[in-house]
Structure 1
Amino acid sequence: MRVQAHVVGYGRVKSILWAYALKEYAQRHNITGWVKIVSSESVELVLQGEKEKVEMLVRWMYTGNQYGRITHAKVEWSTNFSTEYRTFTVMR
């Protein structure tokens, strides 16, 4: 089932490279949407894709990489969404 997750995450994001690593992961798993680094301690995302793949990406954010990871997040799930994203974008 295709779902949308609106995520506001908190943790440590050292670089925009974290967002590009997340984008690469999303593209490999056919997840669309966007990510925006709000500050060095928070990020916001909209993810659309198959539920299990979107869940995997949310888990990846907790593991992260050398550029950052989140420690806690608020995730709002939906199966009804008005905007359908075709790509994954890093917002600035």
Structure 2
Amino acid sequence: MDREVENKPVRAHVVAQGRVQGVGFRVFLQSQATRHGLSGWVRNLPDGRIETEVEGTAVLVGEFIQAVKRGPSLAHVQDIQVEWINPSSQGSSDFIIIAGSG
């Protein structure tokens, strides 16, 4: 990957399913995002999946998606879906956990 592509801002919407609730997944993803300076959010869905949006450079968002696939030690990720969306122009550096179902 060339440097221009690596540093290009991207945003991804990711949904993971499997044993992903009640295993510290949201805190795990918040830690991963914060460590890499990524912004976005994560929440549990009522159907047992987790949903997250993350924004940053292409290379760091790619690493974050790998972390979603891996999950924390108690998780078992069966599948993820990734949708690439336009980066936000808000420039926030926060990654928040949205309280909700699950």
Deviation at 1:49, TM superposition (A): 0.4
Deviation at 1:4, TM superposition (A): 0.4
Tell me the equivalent position of 1:76. Answer: 83
Of 35, 45, 67, the residue aligned with 2:74 is 67
C-alpha offsets along residues 67-86 of structure 1, whole Å, 9 cap, x if unaligned? 32422122111344455433
- Normalising by structure 2, what TM-score? 0.76
C-alpha offsets along residues 29-63 of structure 1, whole Å, 9 cap, x if unaligned? 01110000114730111100011111111111111
Of 37, 41, 48, the residue aligned with 1:34 is 41
Listed as ranges, the gaps of 5+ residues in structure 2 are 1-7
- Normalising by structure 1, what TM-score? 0.84
- How many residue pairs get matched? 92
Q: Which has the higher strand share?
A: 1
When structure 1 is superposed on structure 2, of 21-30 and 5-14 the one drifting more is 5-14
Q: CA-atom RMSD, angstroms?
A: 2.0
Asked whether 1:2 is paired with 2:28, we answer no
Alignment identity in percent? 26
The change in CA–CA distance for 1:19 and 1:3 in structure 2 (over 3 A counts) is: same
Listed as ranges, the gaps of 5+ residues in structure 1 are none
Deviation at 1:16, TM superposition (A): 6.0
Tell me the equivalent position of 2:64. Answer: 57
